[in-house]
Each structure stands twice: as C-alpha cells, then as structure tokens.
Amino acid sequence: MIDFNKPAYLGKEIDYIKDAIENSKLCGDGIFTKKCSQWMKDELKTKHCLLTTSCTHALEMSAYLADIQPGDEVIMPSYTFVSTADAFVLRGAKIVFVDIRPDTMNIDETKIEDAVTEKTKAIVPVHYAGVACEMDTIMGIAKKYDLKVVEDAAQGVHAYYKGKALGTIGDFGCFSFHETKNYTMGEGGAILFQDDKYLEKAEILREKGTDRSKFFRGQIDKYTWVDFGSSYLPSELNAAYLYAQLENADAIDKKRMYVWNFYHEKLEELADRGLIERPVVPDYAVHNAHMYYIKVKDLDVRTRLIAHLKENGVCAVFHYIPLHSATAGRKFGRFHGEDVYTTKESERLIRLPMFYSLSKEEMQKVVDAIYSFPDFK
C-alpha cells in the first residue's frame, strides 16, 4: 500500500537530537529553537518569529494578541481545518464563514467586504495547499475597516505571494510543523509578526504569563507572573528535528515539486478529456508543493475513485467537511452569503500521496491506478 503521507527524514535529525541531549537542554528556547527562528528570519524575511507547540497554538496566540473579545466577529473560509476557527472560538468570537473560490479553494476575496459588520475584528485567510490567497485585496479591506489579518499559513511555509513569504503579510502568520506538513518536528508550529509592539506580550503569553524571556536575556534579575499566559514553547528535541529539515528545505522543496509536477503532467490528459480538474496556481503565487489534489465530477465519483485506488494499493484521502455544516460550526458560526462552492467543491476533491520519500515507481503506480478507474476509460 502506498501511504498518503510519511514524515520527511533526511538523516541529520538524529544527530541534532543527540546534540540536544548532550547539551543537557531539553526544554524550550535552547540552541535549536533559536536556529529554527533564525532560519525563518533570514529565509522568509520575518521580523519576529516564535516557535510554538503547534499551528493551533500559534493561532490561539494570534487571537489573543489581536485582542479578540467575546462577541467579536472573525471572517474566514468554511473550507479549512478546525483549528482556524477553534482558536477564535476560545476567545468567545463568532465565526463568519464566507465562500471559497473554486480555482484555488481559498477564501473568495471578493465576498469578504460584504460580510464585514461593526463587530468584525479580524480576517483569517487560509493559504490552502500552500497557494496564496489574494492578499492585496484582503489587506485593503482590513485597512479600510481597521481589521487584523491572521494568516493561517499552516500549509504555506516557504510559499510566496508577489515575492513576500506567506505568513509575513498580515498582522500575524501561523505555521505548522506537524508531521503532515512539508517540514516537520512531529508536532509544532510558529507565530510570525512584523510589529515590535507585539513582542513582549507574545513572549509573556508563551511563557506561562511570566517575563522569563526577559530574564533569560539578562534584562531583569528575576522573573514573575505579569499577565495572562500559557505554555506554548516546544521542546528542544522537537526543534532539533525541525532544524535538520529547515537546513535541507531546498532538498525537500525540490522533491515535492518534482512529485507535484509529475502528477500534474501525467494527469493532463484526463483534464483535457474533462474528467478531472487539476490545481490552479495564480500568477501572483509561488506555491510550495504542499499538496497535490484532483477534483472529480461529484461525491459519488469521488467515493468510488477512493475505493478503487485503495483496491489498487494507493491511499488517497479527502478532507474538510465544511466547518459551517459541522455541529460546532453551527453553534459558533454562521455562513454569510450563499454557499456556491464550499460544499460542492469540497465534495469533489481527492488528495494524492505526496511526501519526500515517495519513489518514482510509487508515483507512476498512483497515476496508473487513476487511469484504470472504469469511469475514466
């Protein structure tokens, strides 16, 4: 069976974990955590970057730093992972879902403004599959109505919008290093922001409500409880694994791009025959080959194709039952406007195996299995 995902392992991870053990520093904010943040600062040109225990936690930090209060409204797509909404629900926000664009599966930027009310506090664009949302329009709306923008760039690490790294455009950017993402540390993430004014509050929030970060820098001689906080810093063991991946980001990117292009070329014929649709990458976006998906006619074809692939040794999956249709989504949110594409497009989508160690034979086997589907004959 060809797996859907396998976390990347390049070889150095184990050496770095060993280094962390030998340094006798396993808790957070040690050498490897610093190396990881530095990589993001240099490579992605972000002013600030704090490693976190997950993207979910980076989103929670953003919701807090954006000063979301009970009753505030937050605009986001319904076609996304639960954490995008959960982080804001935890602060008492009401989620306002708007429709997606059928080409990129990203929030439809032309439908956001109509959803803005006096209570709106933030917009949360999700860069699906590492393909950028139309950020100029989104930032323009945010400016006009004085809203915060929190980019859910969980899938968008090392992907770009008009030359700017995803996660560095809005007020806050949130990354994931979960094992299903391009670069991993098992579980982990990062919060990015450009404005110095958030730094102190972010550090305190991440360090149990204490000013311990200042203490470690020698700026104060003892640390105390100064504000609301939690514990959002990952272990050095995880950071050591991640650093080996970031150091080799180019190798990971290159391989994933190869897989992505392989599928894209091999499946062109089915697209030309109108049997499937392939991902669309707008001119303004440079993607990171996070995901390869195809869209088939409808839910029925998808269900049968996934079963057919399974019979042929290929694990393909779908995801995101639109949040507005879920129990919690109905309780905590509402859909603004008409659901033209969210449900319809999400029911047609299938994700193909995509990971660093996928072999060419396996890739070909996936393609062959798709072509042998009776509907495509």
Ligand X SMILES: *Cc1c(COP(=O)(O)O)cnc(C)c1O
Given the complex with ligand X, which of 226 and 317 has the nearer CB atom?
317
Using CB under 6 A as the binding rule, whether residue 46 contacts ligand X is answered as no
Residue 187, CB half-sphere, CA atoms under 13 Å: how many? Answer: 8
By CB under 6 A, name the one of 37, 78, 80, 343 that touches ligand X: 80
Given the complex with ligand X, which of 56 and 62 has the nearer CB atom?
56
Using CB under 6 A as the binding rule, whether residue 287 contacts ligand X is answered as no
Using CB under 6 A as the binding rule, whether residue 155 contacts ligand X is answered as yes
By CB under 6 A, name the one of 78, 104, 120, 176 that touches ligand X: 176
Report helix, strand or coil for 49: strand
CB of 214 to ligand X, least distance (A): 27
CB of 90 to ligand X, least distance (A): 13
| Dist. CA 341–CA 332, nearest whole Å | 21
| Dist. CA 68–CA 296, nearest whole Å | 39
Using CB under 6 A as the binding rule, whether residue 126 contacts ligand X is answered as yes
CB of 78 to ligand X, least distance (A): 12
Using CB under 6 A as the binding rule, whether residue 213 contacts ligand X is answered as no
Query: Residues 167, 288: contact at Cβ < 8 Å?
Result: no
Given the complex with ligand X, which of 63 and 270 has the nearer CB atom?
63
Using CB under 6 A as the binding rule, whether residue 104 contacts ligand X is answered as no
Q: How many CB atoms lie within 10 A of CB 294?
A: 23
By CB under 6 A, name the one of 33, 37, 46, 56 that touches ligand X: 56
DSSP 26: -
Using CB under 6 A as the binding rule, whether residue 55 contacts ligand X is answered as yes
Tokens of 152: 């859910």
By CB under 6 A, name the one of 37, 62, 84, 288 that touches ligand X: 84
Given the complex with ligand X, which of 212 and 351 has the nearer CB atom?
351
**Residue partners of 363: CB distance under 8 A and separation at least 6:** 259, 262, 263, 353
| Dist. CA 50–CA 231, nearest whole Å | 12
- Report the candidate in 200, 178, 203 with the shortest Cα–Cα distance to residue 189: 178
The size of the interface with ligand X (CB under 6 A), counted in residues, is 14
Spell out where the chain has E strands.
48-52, 73-77, 94-98, 120-123, 148-152, 160-161, 164-165, 172-176, 189-193, 285-286, 293-295, 333-335, 349-351
By CB under 6 A, name the one of 72, 99, 108, 152 that touches ligand X: 152
**Residue partners of 146: CB distance under 8 A and separation at least 6:** none
Given the complex with ligand X, which of 167 and 189 has the nearer CB atom?
189
Judged by CB under 6 A, the stretch of 61-69, 132-140, 148-156, 344-352 that binds ligand X is 148-156
Buried b (16+ CB within 10 A) or exposed e, 237-251: bbbbbbbbbbbbbee
Given the complex with ligand X, which of 127 and 212 has the nearer CB atom?
127
Using CB under 6 A as the binding rule, whether residue 81 contacts ligand X is answered as yes
Judged by CB under 6 A, the stretch of 11-19, 51-59, 68-76, 241-249 that binds ligand X is 51-59
Using CB under 6 A as the binding rule, whether residue 132 contacts ligand X is answered as no
Per CB under 6 A, contacts with ligand X among 179-198 are 189
Amino acid at 88: F
Element (DSSP H or E) covering residue 374:
none
CB of 276 to ligand X, least distance (A): 23
Using CB under 6 A as the binding rule, whether residue 154 contacts ligand X is answered as yes
Query: Residues 100, 79: contact at Cβ < 8 Å?
Result: yes
Using CB under 6 A as the binding rule, whether residue 83 contacts ligand X is answered as yes
Judged by CB under 6 A, the stretch of 147-155, 259-267, 332-340, 367-375 that binds ligand X is 147-155
CB of 373 to ligand X, least distance (A): 27
Tokens of 331: 């309780």
Query: Residues 357, 11: contact at Cβ < 8 Å?
Result: no
Per CB under 6 A, contacts with ligand X among 243-262 are none
| Dist. CA 249–CA 243, nearest whole Å | 9
Residues that bind ligand X (CB under 6 A): 54-56, 80-81, 83-84, 126, 152, 154-155, 176, 178, 189
